[in-house]
Structure 1
Amino acid sequence: MKNLKILILFLCTVFSSCDLDEDPPILDEGVYDDPRAVISALDGIYAALTTYNAQERRLFVINGFSGLFNTRKQGNNINNPNNTNLFSLKPNNDSDTAGMWAGLYTAIARANTAIANIETYEESTAIPDERLFNDVAGQAYFVRSWCYFSLVRVFGDIPLLTDLPTSENFMNELTEVKEIYKQIISDAQIASNLMNGTTGLGYPKSFAAKMLLSKVYMTLATNPELVPDNLSSTSNFWELAYNEAINVYESQNYVLTPDYGSLFTLENENSSESIFELQISQVASNSQMGRNYTPNNYKVSQNFGWFKVHADIYDQHASEYPGDSRLDATYLSEYINNNPNSGGFGNTIKVYPSRNRTNYSNGHPFLFKYAVKDITHSNQYDDKNVIIYRYAELLLMLAEISNELQNGEQLIYITEVLNRSGLSNSAYMTADQSTFRDKIMKEYRFELIGEGEDAHHNRRRGFNYFLNKTIIPHNTTPNFGTNRDLTLSEDEIQVMSLPIPLIELNTNDLID
């Protein structure tokens, strides 16, 4: 893991100016015969995922478009540009969305280069270098699949780039969603077959690709209009999702960490729960997560507190599970001002629920997961890795899938997640299929809020489910107030997808 972080430092320095149509980092075909160079190419792909655009801006956009957050960015008030647009589910063309788009397509371009140049071998090969080439190529397919899945879920029709850029194909028309999903599935299946763990700690294994495939099949199970033409619309996608997820579960490669809060600390990187984790290095200056998402004045300096969770979402969690150990690890509502350069140094800062909701500024708790926990930390950058996929989510997926299949296993998986936090499964034991479904969709929120999947989970069962389970309950909460709460859009066109960024529309003649 230390070596990976050092390589990311090198690659971030060398390739920091790459853009969407970049010549990817290593183009000499002969280089891809050298195992060390192939590893460097792979680290260049992951370095692309840790850039400001692909990481901080991606999470800002995805979380902001979930309907669960509000933000202090561009003004600590209800009417700042982000709150009135993206965070209210009324998206327009903004720089963060454009940055996320460019960041993910840059990672795709680098993955395309590796896929085009790395020779792969029979899956059963025992030759170390051949196994390494397979593993690196598999991870390139996995990253490309993950990036397209991240993009298609919020933009819909998008350009599909699988070849190296040339003077003839530097502009690309929009590809129908079905074809994007076809490519995502194909890439993830190839990745699952090629990834073999040769690259070692800090790199995802084939189980990350299987988890991705399960997520894709779950999406198709509830959205038949997205099913690629090469797949039967009558396929049992819940069964397909189960087959991929249970493979990860039965591998026994992952277990829950005993302490939920430790997942979001520097000390517990690459834990037994981590399935896909981005490696972050302060010296590489490849993450400003702590600066952006540590609550304002929680540490010595460089903290903006851009994510605050809607009060009604916190209330749901606290009401459902009073005393849940996840509450303190997820939300922060009271702390000492540790910034000596601020006017209130040493004072206690309180927001809801530690104080009454009188205005926007004190009306919502901060999201605490991405905070730098060291109050003496003064750097703009930080070292803490960012977890993308973890075992607890896989367990929740299996619980949901099993409930849909009615295979009798759903309690096994949800109980494992609840036990970690000392919670009872009694409400699930008596739940019928519909009630279990609603409860598990909330459980994703309680366990995983802010980790990058909320926008998808809220939309995966369609507009009406999102409207009736999240949007209307928020807009009609008894404690609602226009001077402290966002009014979420109820317009399906606004709510369900982001507009293609203007920078793409203005430079791509093939998109109207």
Structure 2
Amino acid sequence: MMRKILIYSILLIALFSGCQKDFLNLAPISDTNTENFYRNEEDMLNAVNAAYASLRTGGQYNAAMYTVGEVASDNTEILDAQAGIDNSQIDAFTTLTNNGILNNMWNHHYEGILRCNAVIDRIPAIEMDETLKNRYVAECFFLRALMYFNMVRTFGDIPLVTREITDVQEGYDYTRDPSAEVYAQIVADLNFAIENLPVTYAAADIGRATSGAARGLLTKVYLTQQNWQEAANQAKAVMDLGVYDLMPSYAAVFAIPNKNNVESLFEVQYIKGGFGLGSPFNNAFAPRLSGQIVTTIGAGGGQNHPTAEMASIYETGDQRRAASMADGYQDGDQFVAIRYVTKYLDPALFAAGDADNNWPILRYADILLMRAEALNELGYAPDGEAFEILNRIRQRAGLAAITSAILPDQSSFREVLAHERRVELAFENHRWFDLVRTGRALETLRAQGKSIQEHQLVFPIPQVQIDINPDQIRQNPGY
């Protein structure tokens, strides 16, 4: 995000880091902090920036989201147990209820929700420009919706907390609310954000949530709910804004100098340089025993290796493959054949785990593909708009167009579109959620040799949350 947000967030990370790591994170930071903070417009800016900073935690996009979104799917795997038992559990569907990744995911998402709720509840009392006040609230609504969307898709029913908790004991009152209620709140938050966020920002604020980002996320929410008409409508509304387009080449989308480019609706913002705000993926995704050959600085983490099946599915000439993954690395005169993700490499990183790559959450290509999927589900149209969208994505990747002579019905179009989503959005945390929402997870993963059961389409509630509040928080069936 813009440098101003990133620097401010250093202070805010320190301010918000004193909470105990449990469900009672929903309680306030401390009486002293809450009394002396949230006093003026600058404090509110810092508080909003702290909500953005939540995205850069291990329980959100620094680690948990790619473990759930990719490692649990057929896209990537953990090849070395030394890369972490918690990761290996999720990969093999042997996940225990004390899994540290899922516990961090729960804690860090609710910490972020706390930050959003604090802004939303406290900003009405602040004397400041009303338009800016509404924008700050809308930014927090967007962020809260994003966090709840990730949580409800991962755990199912979850506590829905929409206000700042001012009494520690009140945290014990929250039970798991039905997913339908969580989704209703997500939709309401995003609709407010759409109405109160700008379409674009001046240079100093590029990277903040926009109305287009809110519409894009709402598109994905409706697609997940199989509300095809609303998904199609929201995607079209994003397209009609006239501010987004595909980058000329696929590789250019992820080039570090092109952060927050014309294809980007929303990215997690990172900046290298010893601030503690750099991205970890350059090192995390490099092979564990590759030394500094892949990373250039520091060791590889052995996370998120593309599967053999993933490596084989790209069509000949698909430019997305080379931009996304490699089959190995050269160690002197020896080629070490171990696949790794290249999409987030930074050849000039500052230090180990301190790279400049942003993480894409919403891209215009995703919006186009969601529009095509929704249109096809509403009714197959030979060589209609859905075909035009599909071919626009394919042609950018260097592939030939596809016509209804090749895809003669809704089912065949659906299959090819699923393939296009997989290779276009590879390693961006979409695959697991796409498999689950389309009902393909069990069949697809069992075909890959995974022993996945139906109850594992949601993950276990961290046991510590149940231990803290056994009267209200119960485990998902099967765990």
Q: Which category describes the TM-score, using the shorter chain as reference length?
A: 0.7 to 0.9
Query: Which blocks of at least 5 consecutive residues in structure 2 are unaligned?
Result: 475-479
CA contact (8 A) 1:22 1:106 kept: no
1:489 aligns with 2:451: yes
User: 1:108-187 counterparts in 2 under 5 A?
Assistant: 108-119=113-124, 129-165=129-165, 166-171=167-172, 172-187=174-189
For 1:17-416, list aligned pairs within 5 A.
17-18=18-19, 19=21, 20-21=25-26, 23=28, 27-28=34-35, 31=38, 34-58=40-64, 59-72=66-79, 74-75=81-82, 81-82=85-86, 85-93=89-97, 94-119=99-124, 129-165=129-165, 166-171=167-172, 172-196=174-198, 197=200, 200-221=205-226, 237-282=227-272, 283-286=274-277, 287-295=279-287, 296-297=290-291, 298=294, 299-317=296-314, 321-337=315-331, 346-351=332-337, 362=338, 365-374=339-348, 378-406=351-379, 408-416=384-392
- C-alpha contact 1:294 1:372 (8 A) present in aligned 2: no
Q: Find the aligned partners of 2:404 and 2:268 in 1 and give their Cα distance.
A: 34
Distance in 2 between the 1:133 and 1:322 partners? 51
Between stretches 292-301 and 98-107, larger displacement belongs to: 292-301
| Identity within the alignment, % | 28
Amino acid at match of 1:308: H
Q: Tell me the SS of whatever aligns to 2:170.
A: coil
Tell me the distance in 2 between the aligned counterparts of 1:98 and 1:48.
Answer: 15
What secondary structure, in the 3-state scheme, does the structure 2 residue paired with 1:137 have?
A: helix
Report how far residue 347 of structure 1 moved.
5.0
Q: Which whole-Å CA distance do the structure 2 matches of 1:99 and 1:379 have between them?
A: 22
Q: Which amino acid aligns with 2:415?
A: D
Q: Does 1:461 align with 2:423?
A: no
The residue matched to 2:129 in structure 1 has which SS? helix
Q: Is the partner of 1:389 in helix, strand or coil?
A: strand
RMSD: 2.5
Q: Distance in 1 between matches of 2:35 and 2:237?
A: 38
Equivalent-residue separation in structure 1 for 2:135 and 2:48 (angstroms): 10
**The residue matched to 1:169 in structure 2 has which SS?**
helix
Residue deviations 1:19-56 (CA, integer Å, cap 9, x gap): 53352597459836x33322211111011111222222
Contact 1:63–1:452 (Cα < 8 Å) also in 2? yes
Q: Distance in 2 between the 1:53 and 1:82 partners?
A: 13
1:125 match:
none
Letter of the 1:170 partner, please give it.
G
User: 1:300/1:284 Cα in 2 relative to 1: closer, same or farther (>3 Å)?
Assistant: closer
Distance change (3 Å), C-alpha of 1:120 and 1:413? farther
**In the aligned structure 1, how far is the partner of 2:147 from the partner of 2:429?**
13
| SS of the residue 2:312 aligns to | helix
In the comparison of the two structures, how many residue pairs are matched? Answer: 448
> Could you give the per-residue CA deviations for residues 135-191 of structure 1, whole angstroms, max 9, x where no partner exists?
111010111111111011121111111121223421221111111111111111111
> 3-state DSSP class of the match of 2:313?
helix
Per-residue deviation, residues 94-117 of structure 1 (Å, max 9, x unmatched): 101111111111111101111112
**CA distance in 1 between partners of 2:62 and 2:105 (Å):** 8
CA contact (8 A) 2:317 2:398 kept: no
1:273–1:392: 8 Å Cα contact kept in structure 2?
Answer: yes
- Aligned partner of residue 158 in structure 1, secondary structure: coil
Determine the C-alpha separation between the residues in 2 that align with 1:137 and 1:30: 17
Counterpart-to-counterpart distance in 2, 1:83 and 1:91: 9
Q: Equivalents in 2 of 1:503, 1:204: separation in Å? A: 33
For the Cα contact (< 8 Å) 1:74–1:82, is it kept in 2? no
Q: Residue 256 and residue 170 in structure 1: after superposition, are their counterparts in 2 closer, same or farther (change >3 A)? A: same
CA distance in 2, matches of 1:139, 1:429: 45
